[in-house]
């Protein structure tokens, strides 16, 4: 699986490069009983790339912080995306 993840990451970079980050929009809102993650296409691509990066690192408890200090434009509840089980 690791080889395929590396290929996916390379193909992603080939297709999108880094230019999509300029128009990236990600928002996180805490709405009563739900956490709402909203993004434009570029923001969704960022989230996909970050999840692929976590898979490629394959480190148990590897994580990505999604908050206003990072890529979230609006975030009233920070989010941590975490890889909890190492895949062998």
CA-to-CA distance for 57 and 61, rounded, in angstroms? 10
pLDDT tier for residue 78 given thresholds of 50, 70 and 90: confident
Cα separations in angstroms, 60 against 22, 41, 45, 79:
31, 29, 23, 18
The pLDDT assigned to 68 comes to: 79
Structure token digits, residue 56: 């490629």
- Domain ranges across the chain: 2-82
DSSP 85: S
The pLDDT assigned to 86 comes to: 56
Residues 6+ apart with CB under 8 A from 22: 42
The pTM (predicted TM-score) of the whole model is 0.81
Between these two residues, 20 and 45, which has the higher pLDDT value? 45
Average pLDDT of the residues of the chain: 86
- pLDDT tens for each residue of 55-77: 888 888 888 888 777 777 788 88
Structure token digits, residue 78: 């920070």
Average pLDDT over residues 38-48: 93
Tell me the residue ranges of DSSP E strands in the chain. 26-31, 34-39, 63-66, 72-75, 79-82
Helix, strand, or coil (residue 79): strand
pLDDT of residue 81 exceeding 60: yes
The pLDDT assigned to 88 comes to: 60
């Amino acid at each position: 699986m690791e080889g395929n993840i590396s290929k996916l990451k390379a193909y992603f970079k080939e297709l999108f490069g880094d230019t999509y980050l300029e128009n990236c929009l990600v928002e996180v809102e805490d709405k009563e009983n739900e956490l709402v993650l909203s993004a434009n296409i570029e923001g969704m691509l960022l989230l996909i790339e970050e999840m692929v990066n976590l898979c490629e690192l394959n480190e148990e408890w590897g994580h990505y912080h999604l908050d206003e200090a990072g890529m979230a434009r609006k975030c009233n509840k920070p989010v941590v995306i975490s890889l909890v089980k190492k895949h062998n």
